[in-house]
Chains A and B, each alone.
Chain A
Amino acid sequence: MIRKRLGRLAFYLLIAGIIFYAVFPFYWAIVSSLKTGTSLFQVEFWPSNPTVANYVALFEEQPFARNIINSLVVAVVATGISLFLSVTSAYALGRIRFRGRTSMLMIILSVSMFPQIAVLSGLFELIRAIGLYDTLSGLVLANLILTLPFVTWVLTTFMREMPRELEQAAIVDGANDWRILTRVFLPIMGPALSATGLLAFILAWNEFMFALTFTLSTEQRTVPVAIALISGATAYELPWGKVMAACVIVTVPLIVLVLVLQRYIISGLTAGAVKG
């Protein structure tokens, strides 16, 4: 009994350690965002003269609110399109046997095997050719190259693991594939959909290289680019306090998103759904 308790204690200590590791840098970002000038070069676990000057400057000096909205639009639309396209294909790839499916999965995966910098120029030409340069739609398109393979693969895996009984019951009832997908599988895929959706959202939200290269005007910039564009009085100086303030601000929407999605992540497969 004592050994068991000790084991449990050690496990929770490990967890506490990992959580500290995960959260401390963010705490440090908050502390740094409240400092200016030389105090940034000093280690203080709470700033002696906290100031919100960095936050104020951020919104005054550039259309930072606009950047956040741009990022939201790009990430939401790219995630939405990815989920929409992937759900049907995941059903086909995960539940229907047909020739060429394995190679199809492999080809989709291979899209994720090239370094981003290598596809940059080609995508740049493509986006200009379609006339989407310097638009958010162009960015959405570019982000699909990152999110689509990922979402398709994860959803296919989850779809494949769904209990066979669910489907059989529906087939016996004479349901077609669309019905099976939307009425039987989708309702119980909540955790998978929200987790992949969240990860894809963050992929698109954080994407930097495409966003920098495929947009030009300040009004179309997304958050990571806006942060990279924060510079000091000269090219060498790094206005650390402002960068950290921006970092804190852009993380907040994501935390809210997680809290909102919480319900779906938890609900999961209710016991009733598997009784088939």
Chain B
Amino acid sequence: MLRIFAVAAAILVVNAGLSANARAEVTISISCSSLGIEQQLCKSSSDAWAKATGNKVKLVSTPADANERLALYQTMLAAQAKDIDVFQIDVIWPAILAPHLMDLTAMLSEQDRSDHFKVLVDNNTVDGKLVAVPWFMDAGLLYYRKDLLEKYGKEVPKTWTELTDTAKAIMEGEKQAGKSGLQGYVWQGRAYEGLTCNALEWIASYGGGSIVNADGEVTIDNPQAAQALDMAKNWIGTISPKGVLSYSEEESRGVFQSGNAVFMRNWPYAWALANADDSPVKGKVGVAVLPHGEGPDARNASALGGQNLAVSSYSAHPEEAADLVRYLTSAQEQKRRALEGSFNPTLRSLYSDTELLTANPFYEDFLPIVESAVPRPSTVTGRRYNQVSSAFVRTVHGTLSGQRTASAVLVDLNKELERLSRGGKW
């Protein structure tokens, strides 16, 4: 027992010695992913900057799970910790973290700022301050099985109704051919942020708005939104498995990639994996913009995702940190990341870059998808966004799992959100 105690004491001493390291030059800490290509790119880019500027960069790996990452960031920032200078933050976090982040407006040249997609710059601007610079982006895509559509002589669906009919026809046909396990459409229906993205896409595509409009008014209680939710509710048990209500991205990819679904809604990351050498659907997959709804205001709508870089207000070296952000988000770096890791650039000009288009032909189709991207109402609802999203998810999940009708629950949701909004002030 005493020996254990002695070991403990020894460790305390050693640790104290280690943490008292003297720091001579400016070291910037940046939070990055911990493994794989994302980490390698982060490291090589940061090292290049460090070499060019004579500083040092330390990578801090943070969990890939968004909730864990947000909890960690918040704990650190609330304690005004200086340990991380540059944070990689999700598109829905700028308003949540804004009080702890530096204004980076001056870091972006006028030209760069106009080249970044406006929807992203607007998303990252909180109370007139640009709190984060866009780094890479995501948008919801429709994946489809080229071979199955061809076999049954179907077009890529333009509307949700077409998608439903096509899926039904193919499922029926395959069932008769003895393949009864085939699903029509898989998406993300678990009670989490991903469901907000999915449901927002349906509702926006019917012209039902994006929960809260740009002026902060709650707009969710409208017939188009109810129509969109009813449509999705009808999918469950017909073209989508019941289990879809517990799927996040990977669960739906698993179904689609093992050849068990005709259509899938997912982010661009699934493209490379579905076409990997060991994938049963390699070469049989196509990507398109998500279908639009019915009615006069119908449109294509993809939820906007992605990551930004932000600088902590508590950073001991704000200038160097901001310079690192400028470097990492520059056109040259974004192009390199797109080529080596398929991270989609946030700069419009890169989508017409010939070298990139050759490497990634899918970028040609991606531009219109980005143009139709719908941001979640995270900036207008400010620090209350997570409450909005959580109430929305609860309502949508409840409707889809079959307890109440869409029009009835939307009235309640509208009331709840209005109470949250404090009369549109948020």
Q: Which residues of A contact B (CB under 8 A)?
A: 36-42, 61-62, 73, 76-77, 80-81, 83-84, 87, 117, 120-121, 124-125, 128, 131-137, 140, 212-213, 216-218, 221, 225, 228-240
Q: Is the CB of B38 within 8 A of A77?
A: no
Which residue of A38, A61, A77, A217 contacts B279 across the interface (Cβ within 8 Å)?
Answer: A38
Q: What separation, in Å, do the CA atoms of A146 and B273 have in the docked complex?
A: 41
Q: Known contacts A38-B280, A80-B5, A125-B79; is A231 also within 8 Å of B64 by CB?
A: yes
Question: Which 7 pairs, one residue from A and one from B, show the smallest C-beta to C-beta distance?
Answer: A80-B4, A231-B64, A229-B34, A135-B15, A37-B278, A234-B269, A41-B254
Whether A76 and B4, one on each chain, are in contact in the complex, defined by CB atoms closer than 8 angstroms, is yes
For the complex, give the distance between the alpha carbons of A137 and B15 in Å: 7
State the majority secondary structure of interface residues on A. helix
Residue count of chain B within 8 Å CB distance of chain A: 55
CA distance in complex: A218, B314 (Å): 22
When C-beta atoms are compared, the residue in chain B nearest to A228 turns out to be: B63
Closest residue of chain B to A240, judged by CB?
A: B250
In the assembled complex, the CB of B228 is this many whole angstroms from the nearest CB of chain A, namely: 24
Across the interface, name the chain B residue whose C-beta is closest to A61: B35
Min Cβ gap A136→B in Å is: 6
**A193–B394 alpha-carbon span in the complex (Å):** 46
Query: Which single residue of chain A is at the shortest CB-CB distance from B62?
Result: A229
Q: Which of B12, B19, B60, B250 contacts A238 (CB 8 A)?
A: B250
Interface-centre pick from B4, B34, B307 (highest chain A CB count, 10 A) = B34
In the complex, what residue of chain A is closest to B248 when comparing beta carbons? A236
Judged by a CB distance under 8 angstroms, whether B1 is at the interface is yes
A-B contact pairs, 12 of them (CB 8 A): A36-B278, A38-B280, A41-B258, A61-B36, A77-B11, A87-B1, A124-B75, A216-B60, A216-B83, A218-B34, A231-B64, A233-B341
Q: Answer whether residue B8 sits at the interface, using C-beta atoms and an 8 A cutoff.
A: yes
**Structural contact, B61 and A233, CB atoms closer than 8 A:** no
- Report A-chain residues with C-beta under 8 Å of the C-beta of B276: 37-38
Please name all residues of chain B whose beta carbon is closer than 8 Å to the beta carbon of A42 when the two chains form the complex.
258
For residue B65, CB closer than 8 A to chain A, the reply is yes
CA of A135 to CA of B273, assembled, Å: 38
Query: In the bound complex, do residue A134 and residue B83 qualify as a contact, i.e. CB atoms below 8 Å apart?
Result: yes
Q: A residues within 8 A CB of B279?
A: 37-38
In the complex, A1 Cα to B16 Cα: how many Å?
Answer: 69
- Is residue B119 contacting chain A, with contact meaning CB distance below 8 A? no
The chain B residue sitting closest to A125, CB to CB, is: B79
Interface pair B8/A80, CB less than 8 Å apart: yes
- Name, among A81, A213, A233, A239, the residue most crowded by chain B CB atoms within 10 Å (CB to CB): A233
List of A residues within 8 angstroms of B270 by Cβ: 236
Cross-interface CB contact of A137 among B12, B37, B81, B84, cutoff 8 Å: B12
- Chain B residues within CB distance 8 Å of chain A: 1, 4-5, 7-8, 11-12, 15-16, 18-19, 29, 33-38, 58-66, 68, 71-72, 75, 78-79, 81, 83-84, 249-250, 254-255, 257-258, 267, 269-270, 272-273, 276-280, 307, 341, 343
A178 to chain B minimum Cβ distance, whole angstroms, is 13
**Which residues of B have CB within 8 Å of A136?**
11, 15
A252 to B283, CA, bound (A): 41
B247–chain A nearest beta-carbon distance, Å: 12
Per the bound structure, the CA–CA distance linking A170 and B267 in Å amounts to 73
Pick the most buried of B29, B75, B81, B273: most chain A CB atoms within 10 A of its CB: B75
Closest Cβ–Cβ distance, residue B196 to chain A (whole Å): 15
A39–B267 Cα gap in the complex (Å)? 21
Complex alpha-carbon distance, A213 and B307, angstroms? 21
Do A77 and B4 contact each other (CB < 8 Å), given the known contacts A36-B278, A217-B60, A235-B33? Answer: yes
Counting chain B CB atoms within 10 Å of each CB, the highest count among A135, A140, A229 belongs to A229
Residue of A39, A40, A213, A238 with most partner-chain B CB within 10 A: A238
Complexed CA–CA distance, A37 and B282 (Å):
12
State which of A124, A137, A212 has its C-beta within 8 Å of the C-beta of B68: A212
Q: Which residues of B contact A234 (CB under 8 A)?
A: 38, 267, 269, 343
CA distance A266 to B36 in the complex (A): 46
What is the CA–CA distance of A234 and B37 in the complex, to the nearest angstrom? 8
The residues of B that contact A41 with a CB separation of less than 8 Å are 254-255, 257-258
Give Cα A36 to B249, complex, Å: 18
Q: Which chain A residue lies CB-closest to B12?
A: A137
For residue B400, give the distance in angstroms from its CB to the closest CB of chain A.
22
**CB within 8 A of B8: which of A37, A81, A124, A221?**
A81
- Residues on A with C-beta less than 8 A from B64 are 228-229, 231-232, 235
The CA-CA distance from A237 to B270 in the complex, in Å, is 8
**8 Å CB contact of B4 from A84, A125, A133:** A84
A61, B37: Cα distance in complex, Å? 11
Contact of A228 among B36, B38, B65, B255 (CB under 8 A): B65
Residue pair A140, B79 in contact (C-beta under 8 Å) = no
- The distance in angstroms between the C-alpha atoms of A47 and B83, with both chains bound, is 44
Q: Is the CB of A39 within 8 A of B278?
A: yes
Q: B60, A230: Cβ atoms under 8 Å?
A: no
Residues of chain A with a CB closer than 8 A to B63's CB: 212, 225, 228-229, 231
